Structure 1
Amino acid sequence: MFGDFHTTLFPKYKIGEKFELSSGSTPSRDNKLYWDSGTINWVKTTEVINKEITETEEKITKFALENTSLKLFPVNTILIAMYGQGQTRGRSAILKVESTSNQACGAIFPNKIDNPVFIWHQLMLRYSELRELGRGGNQPNLNGQLIKNFELILPPLSLQNEFADFVAQVDKSQLAIQKSLEELETLKKSLMQEYFG
């Protein structure tokens, strides 16, 4: 549909030309007022694993949000792991709930003229290219400037939406298949108990 990135006729833009970027931070662990009974999602790079984020392992408090440099990212923000162990660097995720994040996550805010699902899937597809940007220097990390200069294909919104609708249908089918497999596994266990129990 969109062709190879390097030969496509669709326009290309640097991320920084079309999107606002930011990053997160980590409130002091020594201050219990930042963490105890927190209710606001706080994403770590270990959770940025090419998936939708609907919940986080750790949460910060409203006090932390109001008294630190943390920013609350809106739904459909795309997070990129800028550094991390193993395969972490270059992975991405999309927020399905408002969240904050640690400083190892770069955030691409949604705009009003591009489909965030299309952008996110393009970043996942080009994970190796994105990851390679961090090579060189003592520590192979990505940074905000490298992400800003990374180019994306941006076809007309109608085509981006068509792609996102297709992805939604595939995801729906995968969920239905997964549910059927789980039901079959439960049935199998029940029959095994009946035969050998």
Structure 2
Amino acid sequence: MSRWPALAIRRVFHLVNGGTPTSDPANWDGAVPWATPVDLAFVNGATLSATQRSLTEEGLANGSRAVPAGSLIVSTRAPIGYVAEASRPIAFNQGCRGLVPSHAVDIRFFRYQLSAMSERLAALGQGSTFLELSGGALAGAPVVVPPLSVQSAIADYLDRETARIDSLIAAKKRMVELLTERFWSDVTHRVASRTSTFVPLRRYITRITDGPFGSSLTSSDYADSGARVVRLGNLGLAEFRPGDAAYISCDYYLTLQRHRVRKGDLLIGGLGDNNNHVGRACVAPDLGPAIVKADCYCAHVDDSRATAEFLALYLSSPLGAWGAAWAARGTTRSRINLDIAKDIPVPTIALSAQTEIVAGARRDRARAETLSRRLNSQNTLLQERRQAFVTAAVTGQLDIPEAA
């Protein structure tokens, strides 16, 4: 229990509902930031100044509302409970509500308090299609209201202490990134030190196919079980990601045999993004009956010349990313077609050396993943500690001399 009085949010703030203007171009791409729950998620618990989309003054007047700097914006659907402090006048959509102070407060204190209340706010959500926190439920939610001087003292203290914890979390995240960077740097060095000669990928494979396009495979063809459909999301950097499983009926699978996947085949990503470069690859596990989807290529490796594990490792490395970009020169670098995939330059390395490189990479990756799990676990504990720390501070359970 807090030693300070608890008041309904409506006693401390004016609630402002958001909205979305029509798609008329005159309403959009102006100077008024327009927040959605996605924008709040990026800065949850902090300040917000920039958003993915913006409105013109006409758009604001026609279909939305803005809150002034020093207000809070809370997500009330999809999901509930993200909170940010507006550092400038910001509009928002109907998935958010604004809280404008009705009298003098230290808005930082209430930003911390609302962040600590996210689970309680989510529990107040209602709805059958999707959960939404109504304006009435948000307005009636209680917040503790200490004297203004105490609010500021606690906010100052939390600014210092959460910054320290956040710095530790950021440092550990960077360590995880460095472990990954070091692993791929070592892979590149091992490959580059063995040869300077490259030949097209087609020299190492006996068959390659792409996935069915257009009406040959649509969302209506998917089933709850049956033959597996390998999609881009399953293709990691030299690792198959089993999640997000999709299936088609076995009967329909029999009509798509040209696109089949077998255990040990090389799976190549024909489309890239910021986290997964085009041309990355992995080895297909035993999936049973399976096919590749569009933008995924399935190759059968000539095991007298190469191993699928080595090719997947190379194609997923920075050196392989360079090779895919080289083969795709003159085209859109984020996508390659089947002919370009066959032209990706691959190093000529003896099978024994390929096996040695793969074995070394397995050992290094296992060590890196063990360390990464440990660091991620430490970060989870730090984030839990931060949340508990904030909750204790804003409810008066933490002894802060400046707030006495």
What interval of TM-score do these two structures reach, taking the shorter chain for normalisation? 0.7 to 0.9
Aligned counterpart, 1:3: none
Aligned counterpart, 1:47: 39
TM-score, structure 1 normalization: 0.78
Secondary structure class of the residue paired with 2:84: strand
Q: CA deviation at 1:111?
A: 3.8
What is the 5 A alignment of 1:167-182?
167-170=158-161, 172-173=163-164, 178=170
Contact 1:55 1:97 in 2 (8 A): no
Aligned residue among 105, 111, 134 for 2:96? 105
Is residue 2:134 matched to residue 1:134? no
Report the residue type matching 1:58 in the other structure: R
Higher helix share: 2
Aligned counterpart, 1:118: 109
Secondary structure class of the residue paired with 2:22: coil
Report the residue type matching 1:120 in the other structure: R
The CA deviation string for residues 110-132 of structure 1, in whole angstroms up to 9 with x for no partner, is 34422111111111111111110
Report the residue type matching 1:144 in the other structure: G
Aligned counterpart, 1:80: 74
Q: CA deviation at 1:139?
A: 4.0
Aligned counterpart, 1:13: 7
Which one has a bigger Cα radius of gyration? 2
TM-score, structure 2 normalization: 0.40
Q: CA deviation at 1:140?
A: 2.4
Call closer, same or farther: CA 1:17–1:59 in 2, change over 3 Å: same
Secondary structure class of the residue paired with 1:162: helix
When the two chains are superposed, the root-mean-square deviation of aligned CA atoms in Å is 2.7
How far apart, in 1, do the equivalents of 2:2 and 2:160 lie?
25
Aligned length: 179
Call closer, same or farther: CA 1:158–1:38 in 2, change over 3 Å: same
Q: CA deviation at 1:53?
A: 0.9
Higher strand share: 2
Secondary structure class of the residue paired with 1:40: strand
Call closer, same or farther: CA 1:23–1:159 in 2, change over 3 Å: same
How far apart, in 1, do the equivalents of 2:166 and 2:81 lie?
26
Structure 1, unaligned runs of 5 or more: 1-6
How far apart, in 2, do the equivalents of 1:138 and 1:69 lie?
24
Q: Calculate percent identity across the aligned residue pairs.
A: 21
How far apart, in 1, do the equivalents of 2:32 and 2:145 lie?
33
The CA deviation string for residues 142-171 of structure 1, in whole angstroms up to 9 with x for no partner, is 011001100001111111101111222235
What is the 5 A alignment of 1:147-158?
147-158=138-149
Structure 2, unaligned runs of 5 or more: 193-404
What is the 5 A alignment of 1:157-172?
157-170=148-161, 172=163
How far apart, in 2, do the equivalents of 1:153 and 1:163 lie?
13
